[in-house]
Each structure stands twice: as structure tokens, then as C-alpha cells.
Structure 1
């Protein structure tokens, strides 16, 4: 007799295609060559990871503020974790080492997102400092300022996307401008 009410107890898991679409957009943007060529992001495993975290943070932050719910955010984070696990295994990391590396990834994610959130409450310069430390290895504050400008522009553009388009992947990150071009 209670079967009509079962949907109240189950978490609503977003369709896998939705998660894959959104995550694919994050990965594609994090691989944009201009970040590495013009903004000084190290083209290394760590540099790519840090840029992926930045874009994941931007999207999760918008999902939270748009009221998309914890289920979608959690599913996106879980997909990120599976992707990181798969990448470690593809790189030849052994089964006994993967959990330790995954823990380090989790700590990096939570540490960086907390730092970025805190920097947003302070100033534009605070975000640039945080990005400089976490993505540019403490080098080139001018490039970090450009990266902070990009991040703020991405936040502004994401904030204009309605929830349905956000959930369906009907949006894009802002285009990066090559060095020397006006935005």
C-alpha cells in the first residue's frame, strides 16, 4: 500500500547522460590550450588536475546556488572521482596505492574549493592569490589575475543560465581570449 510514496524516500539520481554531458564540458574546458599557453598553467598532470578542479568548483557552486539539489552535485562529484580512479589505473598506479591517491585528490578538492570560496568573500586580489598558489605554483600573479578574471566571468555567465539549461548542459564556459586580445 505504501508503494506510491516510495519516491519520497529515494534520492533522485540524475540520468547518467546528464552527468556525462556536464562533466565532459568541464573536462573539455580544462583542456583548452590557451590556459596552458597564455595563462601559464603548467601543462602537467598536476596543472591539468588543478584546472579541472577549478572548473568543477565553478559548476558545483552554480548548481548549489541555482537550487539544483544535492543529488546532481553529488552525482557530478562521484563521476569526477570515478574518472580520477580510472586515470590513475591507466597511468599504472597499483591497486594498493589508488586509495591513498584518491584520498589526496579529495583533500585537494576540498582544500581548494574552500580556499576559492573564502577568496570570493574577500576581494578580486584574494581570488588571484589563491589561484596563483593552487594552480600556478605561486608564480606569476599577473597571469593569476587573468585567471581570476576568467573565473569571475565564468561565474557571471553561469549565473545567467536557467536551472533547466544548466542541468541539461545547455550552456558553455566563456571563451578564453588569446594573449593580447581584448575581452
Structure 2
């Protein structure tokens, strides 16, 4: 029994490392200064969703334990969002409704980005405009830079060993905007 609890805690710790890493990457000032992502709660949520999508996509290419880890990261993400809403003073009655809305938004982004990747850069550009840049029009250069970052992220994540990722070691590329 204690072994199972210990293993569960280890898996949660690994998921927490992955989640913290994606949040740090998503909050890189480069995205908000040069890539045209709105520096707002919504913009930060969109960047967390984008990085979560990239991580979930990579974990989906592993075995069942990777899919389980993906679910743990997902659960931590929504626990963090719940905590953030409560810190903002949202009461118990409003939390559930807002979390459902945020979950729908995340699932919508996952579907939009998956479909866009199958169709190419033009579709990805449209998906980014509808989601990431919905409240702040980005230039063509900013969108192209974001597409390049996303593509490089997927390549870099896929190049990392599954065993490293399953230990919580994951590296996103550094955001570097080139004009």
C-alpha cells in the first residue's frame, strides 16, 4: 500500500516538474514583447494552452504511462487555474463554471491546432489568429515566428528521449524572435 502511495507521489512530482517547465516557457517575456502575444491573463492562458498542447502531443507518442502522465499534468494545470481563480476572489459558486469554460477553451485549442497541423502553415496561421491572437492582431512576421517556434518545439520535443520526459526532464526551445 505504501509503495503505491510513494509511486503515485513520484508521478505527481514528475508531472509537477513538467507543468512548471511549460509555465515558465509560456511566460517567457519574448512572447509578449516580440511575438505579439497579448500581455494579459488571456494571453498568458493562451500560451500555457499552447505549451500544454505541445507537451500533450509529445506524451501522446509514448506508452500508457506517458498518457497517464499527460493526464496528471492536465489535472495539475486545472488545479492551478482553480487556485488562481480563488486567489482573485472568485467564490465557490463561480469556480466550477469558469473551470468548465477554461477546459472547453483548452480542448478547442487542442482540436484547432491538431487539425491545423494536418493542413499546413496557412491553417495554423488561421488557428493562431482565432485563438492566440484573438484580442491582439499580430503581424505576418510575428505569426511566422510563432509558427517557426511551434514547429521547432515539436521537433525538439520529439527528439528528446521518452525516458527523460518520463522523469520530468523536458526542454522547449528558447523563444528568439528574428525580424
Task: Give the TM-score normalised by structure 2.
Answer: 0.89
Q: Which residue of 2 aligns with 1:76?
A: 73
User: Does the Cα contact within 8 Å between 1:19 and 1:75 map onto a contact in 2?
Assistant: yes
Q: Which residue of 2 aligns with 1:31?
A: 27
- Structure 1 position 29, deviation (Å): 0.3
Segments of structure 1 that go 5 or more residues without pairing to the other structure are: none
User: Does the Cα contact within 8 Å between 1:129 and 1:144 map onto a contact in 2?
Assistant: no
**1:113 and 2:107 are equivalent in the alignment:** no
- Runs of 4+ residues over 6 Å off in structure 1: none
- Structure 1 position 132, deviation (Å): 1.7
* Root mean square deviation, CA, Å: 1.8
**1:170 and 2:173 are equivalent in the alignment:** no
Q: Aligned in 2, Cα 1:144/1:15: closer, same or farther, shift over 3 Å?
A: same
CA distance in 2, matches of 1:77, 1:155: 19
Q: Which residue of 2 aligns with 1:103?
A: 100
- Structure 1 position 167, deviation (Å): 1.5
User: Does the Cα contact within 8 Å between 2:47 and 2:132 map onto a contact in 1?
Assistant: yes
Q: Which residue of 2 aligns with 1:139?
A: 137
1:13-54 CA-partner distances (Å, limit 9, x unpaired): 462210110000000001000000000000000000000000
Q: Which residue of 1 aligns with 2:16?
A: 20
CA distance in 2, matches of 1:178, 1:160: 22
**1:127 and 2:124 are equivalent in the alignment:** yes
CA distance in 2, matches of 1:124, 1:150: 12
* Residue range with higher mean Cα deviation, 70-79 or 55-64: 70-79
* Alignment size in residue pairs: 171
Segments of structure 2 that go 5 or more residues without pairing to the other structure are: none
Higher RCO structure (Cα 8 Å, ≥6 apart): 2
User: Does the Cα contact within 8 Å between 2:26 and 2:51 map onto a contact in 1?
Assistant: yes
**Alignment partner of 1:108: what SS?**
helix
- Structure 1 position 144, deviation (Å): 1.9
**Alignment partner of 1:177: what SS?**
coil
